Amino acid sequence: MTSILNCSEVDAGYTRGRPCVRDFNLDVREGEVLTLLGPNGAGKTTVLLTLAGFLPTLGGTVEIAGKAVRTGDGCAAANAGLALVPDDRSLFTSLTVEENLRLAVNSRKAWSAERDSILGHFPSLRERLKVQAGALSGGEQQMLAIGRALAQHPKVLLIDELSMGLAPAIVERLLPVLRTVADDTGTAVVFVEQHVQLALAVADTAIVLRHGSIALRGAAAELAENPRLVEEAYLGAHDAAAVPDGAPAQGLIA
Ligand SMILES: Nc1ncnc2c1ncn2[C@@H]1O[C@H](COP(=O)(O)OP(=O)(O)OP(=O)(O)O)[C@@H](O)[C@H]1O
Ligand SMILES: [Mg+2]
């Protein structure tokens, strides 16, 4: 499969000269699903905001399909094929589901086909089309936010905190949609998720970020079989030594 997103030696953060993410390297192929894991404050959101052009890189390059993306330019990133579902979902809460989707679909002509394609992934939204986004359940709001991003036909779909405020049962229903989108359309998916085992079950590849550096990178299936490795990457090897074998630190490996 062709490389679609490439980050090389990216430094990211909020103050020039003081990156909170350092030397971030990434190569994601078409149709690949990558989960970006790590403890609070590790820099996951910072990475996604940087990739989506909402923060300028403090060093390094980001390429989509071999072309450098202009840094700190959300429009350039969107035009290059990056779409971000932010952790707050950023829906227009006073607009209906249909209106939220319509705003994301470029062509008026293609509207009904686009709508049906999105509703194919999230059938329960069909009967909610006339409902204000703010009146949806958390799970429905996340479906709408992902659907709106898919309407842009991104080459790379970025999702921050997929499961924020959602019951694990809802997350288990949403995650396979990401797999289907990647498999059927070749869209690459990079998602941040706190339910580590659920994320590893659907992803091809995983990265654990800790204190702004990549602490672990590997095939998701292999990491799922080695939760201890993931714990060590979260905690740092020294702290992880305090966790007895077979006793995952609470809340870490969901
Ligand atoms: N707007 C900001 N201005 C300055 N520093 C920030 C800002 N947002 C985040 N940071 C800092 O950047 C670092 C990385 O934060 P980031 O939000 O990327 O972490 P995260 O991995 O997404 O954490 P979480 O799991 O809590 O969402 C933290 O030290 C944080 O305090
Ligand atoms: Mg975050």
Q: Which of 45, 196, 209, 211 has the most ligand 1 atoms within 8 A of CB, as the residue to mutate?
A: 45
pLDDT in tens, the chain (254 residues): 789 999 999 999 999 999 999 999 999 999 999 999 999 999 999 999 999 999 999 999 999 999 999 999 999 999 999 999 999 999 999 999 999 999 998 776 788 899 999 999 999 999 999 999 999 999 999 999 999 999 999 999 999 999 998 988 899 989 999 999 999 999 999 999 999 999 999 999 999 999 999 999 999 999 999 999 999 999 986 555 554 444 444 334 43
Task: Evaluate whether residue 105 is within a structural domain.
Answer: yes
Rounded to whole angstroms, how far apart are CA atoms 154 and 80?
8
- 146 with 192, same domain? no
Ligand 1 centre and the CA of 254: distance in Å? 22
How far apart CA 38 and CA 40 sit, in angstroms, is: 7
Considering Cα of 10, then 15, then 16, then 17, what sign does the dihedral take?
negative
Contacting residues for 141 by C-beta, under 8 A, at least 6 apart: 89, 91, 133
Instruction: Output the domain CATH number for residue 77.
Output: 3.40.50.300
Pick left, alpha or beta for residue 133 (phi over 0 → left; psi -120 to 50 → alpha; otherwise beta): alpha
Which atom of ligand 1 approaches the CA of 46 most closely? 18
Residue 41: nearest ligand to its CA? 1
Q: Same domain, yes or no, for 8 and 31?
A: yes
Residues 137 and 175 in one domain: no
Indicate the residue among 153, 170, 196 that finishes a domain: 153
Kindly report the protein residue whose alpha carbon is nearest to atom 14 of ligand 1.
43
* Same domain flag for 119 and 182: no
Tell how far the Cα of 8 is from the centroid of ligand 1, in angstroms. Answer: 21
**Are 53 and 172 part of one and the same domain?**
yes
Any domain includes 228: yes
CB under 5 Å of ion ligand 2: residues: 44-45
How many Cα atoms occupy the beta-carbon half-sphere of 197 within 13 Å? 10
25, 71: one domain: yes
Q: Map tokens 């498999």 to a residue.
A: 183
Cβ contact 31:187 at 8 Å: yes
Looking at the structure, do residues 169 and 240 belong to the same domain, yes or no? yes
Q: How many domains does the chain have?
A: 2
Same domain, 44 and 106: no
Angle of helix 111-121 versus helix 168-185 axis, rounded to 10: 130
The predicted pLDDT at position 248 comes to 42
Q: How far apart are CA 96 and CA 101, in angstroms?
A: 9
Together in a domain, 108 and 35: no
207 & 190 share domain:
yes
Please tell me the chain's helix, strand, coil percentages from 3-state DSSP, rounded to the nearest 5: 40, 25, 35
Which pLDDT score, from 0 to 100, does residue 239 have? Answer: 57
Count of CB atoms within 10 A of residue 138's CB?
14
pLDDT, position 237: 67
Residue 118 structural domain: 91-153
Q: What's the pLDDT score for residue 198?
A: 94
Domain C-terminal end among 153, 180, 201: 153
- pLDDT of 253: 42
Is there a domain that residue 86 lies in? no
| Boundary-marking domain end, from 134, 153, 172 | 153
Is residue 13 domain-shared with residue 75, that is, in the same domain? Answer: yes
Strand order in the sheet with 188-192: 82-85, 156-159, 188-192, 33-37, 205-210, 213-219
User: Which residue minimizes the CA distance to atom 26 of ligand 1?
Assistant: 40
Ligand nearest to the CA of 208: 1
Burial class of residue 30, CB neighbours in 10 A (0-12, 13-18, 19+): middle
**Residue whose CB lies within 8 A of the most ligand 1 atoms, among 14, 58, 209, for a mutation test:** 14
207-217 CB burial, b ≥16 within 10 A, e <16: bbbbebebbbe
Q: State whether 8 and 133 are in the same domain.
A: no
